[in-house]
């Protein structure tokens, strides 16, 4: 009854007369399972941190400029052409126009045809108007009252004769450059369709040319 076991094991006999020993007191499998549970829990926590960080980054948004309506290449931007929209970003927003620079685009010239909803990016505009294909440059001097005092580079205007008796269809032109003389006259370089360039030049030489601004392109 008082016999002391010399090892923590016991034996059982199998059906063939052999015996199988089992160690007592050792729990290696339980220890392994515990380690895996701890490791799995750590992975879950780490995954949650990563997801939270990703969501917070995805929530970072910035306002940039987009097109509110169609603008053709060679046309100057006006304020109504532009709008703001929010975009998600990761890091620096490169190439897009921030909301604070929206008004600086007014008067710039679209380099290509742009559709509503397009995000305005560097390269889509140029600072100074240029002649498009099929256009010619005509320099004119306009006396006070023959053009608005607010006439500015990038404006789209209608050139017509001040004399109703002079035949000719009004011509759509663009202002490429302007300067004001001491006497109040305005020196203007106009972009004119090639077919009407001579007619506009003749009106200017005869001091019969008037300009009516149809679309303001920006501050001069």
**DSSP secondary structure of 66-125:** EESS-B-TTPBP-GGGEEEEEEE-SS---SBPBGGGHHHHTTPEESS-B-TTPBPBTTSE
pLDDT at residue 172, as a whole number: 92
| Full-model pTM | 0.46
Q: Tokens at residue 84, please?
A: 């703001």
Closest CA to 69 of 83, 56, 88: 83
pLDDT of residue 97: 87
Contact residues for 20 (Cβ-Cβ < 8 A; gap 6+)? 11, 12, 14
Q: Which of helix, strand or coil describes residue 211?
A: strand
Nearest CA-CA partner of 175 in 134, 133, 144, 219: 219
159: pLDDT strictly greater than 90: yes
* Dihedral (Cα; 204, 207, 208, 214), 10-degree rounding: 60
Identify the pLDDT of residue 131: 78
Number of Cβ atoms within 10 Å of the Cβ of 42: 10
Query: Mind listing the pLDDT tens digit for each residue in 20-68?
Result: 444 444 555 555 566 666 556 666 665 665 555 555 555 577 888 999 9
The predicted structure's pLDDT at residue 9? 47
Residue 204: pLDDT over 50: yes
SS3 29: helix
Does residue 2 register a pLDDT over 70?
no
Which residue, 179, 120, 130, is CA-closest to 154? 130
Position 115 scores a pLDDT of 93
210 C-beta neighbours (distance < 10 Å), count = 18
State the first-to-last Cα distance of the chain, in angstroms, to the nearest integer: 114
């Amino acid at each position: 009854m008082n016999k002391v076991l010399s090892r923590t094991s016991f034996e059982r006999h199998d059906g063939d007369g052999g015996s199988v020993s089992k160690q007592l007191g050792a729990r290696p499998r339980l220890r392994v399972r515990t380690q895996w549970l701890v490791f799995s829990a750590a992975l879950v926590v780490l995954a949650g941190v990563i997801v939270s960080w990703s969501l917070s980054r995805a929530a970072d948004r910035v306002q940039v400029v987009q097109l509110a309506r169609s603008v053709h290449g060679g046309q100057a931007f006006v304020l109504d052409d532009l709008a703001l929209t929010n975009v998600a970003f990761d890091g620096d927003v490169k190439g897009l126009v921030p909301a604070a620079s929206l008004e600086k685009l007014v008067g710039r010239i679209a380099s290509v045809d742009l559709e509503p909803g397009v995000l305005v990016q560097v390269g889509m505009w140029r600072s100074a108007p240029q002649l498009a294909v099929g256009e010619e440059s005509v320099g004119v001097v306009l006396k006070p009252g023959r053009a608005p005092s607010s006439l500015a580079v990038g404006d789209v205007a209608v050139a017509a004769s001040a004399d109703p008796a002079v035949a000719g269809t009004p011509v759509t032109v663009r202002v490429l450059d302007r300067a004001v003389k001491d006497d109040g006259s305005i020196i203007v370089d106009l972009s004119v369709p090639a077919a009407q360039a001579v007619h506009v030049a003749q009106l200017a030489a005869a001091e019969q040319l008037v300009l009516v601004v149809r679309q303001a392109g920006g501050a001069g």
